[in-house]
Amino acid sequence: MRQFLTLNATVQQEMRDTRLFYYLLMVVMVFVYAITLYQSPALRQPAMLAIFTLLMVLHAVLHWFSPAFLLPRRRLVIYLIIQISLVTTISLLTRVTAVSFGLIMALAGETVGMLEDWRKSLTAILGYLALLTLLNYLMGGWQMLLSWLGATAAMLVFVLIYVMLFIRQMTARQEAQSLLTELEVAHQQLTEYAQQVEALTLETERQRMARELHDTLAQGLAGLILQLEGLEAHLERGDVARVAEIAAQAKGRARTTLAEARQVIGDLRQQDELTAQETIRQETARFERATGISCTLELPAELPLSQQAGEHVVGYVREGLANVARHAQAAQVDVKGVVVDGRFHLTIQDNGKGFNPQQIPDGHYGLVGLRERARLAGGTLVITSQPGQGTTMHLEIPLVVEATA
């Protein structure tokens, strides 16, 4: 018995949710008990009173702890068999039709609530109706049966409707609780996603800064190191003229590297103030002044890029022109952008010495940076080149129109 009445957290919650129904049920039990004693003087005899009271108390206690018998289902079957046996015994002991009627109605309502299925509930109602009919026949014969049959059917319908409404209310409460739990889980997931986005944003920014530093400080310092190594070699040979020449070149490279670093910092600060077209025009003009290489630029009249896509396009132009200046030995560069079918195509073509794209040496981070920008912009980068025939870099990205207020 202790095993059956062990109440876990789920059962305790179920009992709290249905407590109003069981309070009403206890009122019915007390009412039936009082009416029975009032109508049956024989039951007020000490022996009969003790038996009747014990049976009613046991019946009421089982009702009160009925949620403990819900799971597993075999417990429910055992519970219903015990309760039906008690109801039958009490009815035959008292031989009062009101007792059997009240007890069976209460048990029927409870059973419907425990089954929570209209098909099983209808079967249970018909079974209780048959039991009530049998008990009334045994206690009063056919005449008593006919007088109670109509009232019994009406009360059963009333009990069924009440319990169904009660079940609907409980179901709505459970659904609301389930929805609240899902919302809490969703909120936790959104918090985690926000943290992941922040981490990815920081990682993307670090990669962008790494590309910028490579194109300025890393390559500039690498050139300085080579010149200083050459200067050291000429010092050992006593070639003072060559040492002075290399020292002058090293100073010029240092100034150039410093200027490029300042330019990158300035570009990062002013990136939000200028449109992608204006920034690209500045980059091509600066490239032409700094290198003396002729650079033509063609862009569409309107270029509705998102801020992020615009940043990648500007970075692509800057890195592409820097690669031309350092490696191509070109005399002419053409930068051309067109919009076709909702996509932006940007081509950088030079007439330099070219190279074999299949034999790019390790550590060539300029081309790596260009490919990363294309990937981050959701597009593709195609590099076409052959030794002695120049190089063409073609970037294609989706054209994103920003929402306007």
Q: What are residue 338's DSSP bridge partners?
A: 345
The pLDDT of residue 353 is above 80: yes
Contact of 182 with 336, CB cutoff 8 Å: no
Per-residue pLDDT reduced to its tens digit, 367-376 = 777 888 788 8
Question: Which pLDDT does position 346 carry in this prediction?
Answer: 94
Question: Which pLDDT does position 285 carry in this prediction?
Answer: 87
The pLDDT of residue 401 is above 50: no
- Whole-Å CA distances, 265 to 37, 120, 247, 285, 326: 98, 76, 27, 18, 21
Question: Which pLDDT does position 170 carry in this prediction?
Answer: 62
- Greater confidence (22 vs 270) lies with 22
Question: Which pLDDT does position 403 carry in this prediction?
Answer: 36
Tell me the percentage of the chain whose pLDDT exceeds 70: 71
Question: Which pLDDT does position 304 carry in this prediction?
Answer: 81
The pLDDT of residue 8 is above 60: no
Question: Which pLDDT does position 255 carry in this prediction?
Answer: 75
Q: Supply 210's token pair.
A: 């790494």
Q: Supply 303's token pair.
A: 């270029």
Q: How would residue 23 be classed by pLDDT, with cut points 50, 70 and 90?
A: confident
Q: What is the mean pLDDT of residues 65-93?
A: 83
- Greater confidence (150 vs 109) lies with 109
Question: Which pLDDT does position 405 carry in this prediction?
Answer: 36
Scan for tokens 């400080």, then name that residue: 217
The pLDDT of residue 257 is above 50: yes
Q: Supply 375's token pair.
A: 């990937």
Per-residue pLDDT reduced to its tens digit, 285-301 = 888 887 888 999 999 88
- Greater confidence (387 vs 158) lies with 387
Question: Which pLDDT does position 41 carry in this prediction?
Answer: 83
Per-residue pLDDT reduced to its tens digit, 356-392 = 887 765 555 567 778 887 888 888 999 999 888 999 9
- How many of the other CB atoms lie within 10 Å of CB of 368? 14
User: Which amino acid is located at 65 in the chain?
Assistant: F
- Greater confidence (52 vs 268) lies with 52
Q: How would residue 13 be classed by pLDDT, with cut points 50, 70 and 90?
A: low
pTM value is 0.40
Q: What is the mean pLDDT of residues 186-205?
A: 72
Per-residue pLDDT reduced to its tens digit, 45-71 = 888 889 989 998 998 888 888 777 776
The pLDDT of residue 102 is above 60: yes
Phi, psi for residue 400 in degrees, rounded to 5: -105, 120
CA–CA dist 253, 401 (Å, integer)? 41
Q: Which one of 65-69, 81-85, 190-194 scores highest in mean pLDDT?
A: 81-85
Q: What is the mean pLDDT of residues 121-143?
A: 75
- Lowest mean per-residue pLDDT among 36-50, 58-72, 135-149, 273-287: 135-149
- Greater confidence (48 vs 256) lies with 48
Residue-averaged pLDDT of the chain: 76
Q: What is the mean pLDDT of residues 107-136?
A: 76
Q: What are residue 350's DSSP bridge partners?
A: 333, 391
Question: Which pLDDT does position 3 carry in this prediction?
Answer: 46
Judge: domain 275-405, CATH 3.30.565.10. yes
Contact of 111 with 121, CB cutoff 8 Å: yes
Q: What angle do CA 200, 201, 202 make, to 5 degrees?
A: 90
Q: Supply 197's token pair.
A: 């986005």
- Sketch the domain layout of the chain as residue ranges: 9-186, 275-405
Q: What are residue 384's DSSP bridge partners?
A: 392
- Burial zone of 43 (CB within 10 Å; 0-12 exposed, 13-18 middle, 19+ buried): buried
- Lowest mean per-residue pLDDT among 70-84, 203-217, 226-240, 347-361: 203-217
The pLDDT of residue 214 is above 70: no
The pLDDT of residue 274 is above 50: yes
The pLDDT of residue 2 is above 50: no
For 87, how many CA atoms within 13 A lie in the half-sphere containing its CB?
Answer: 27
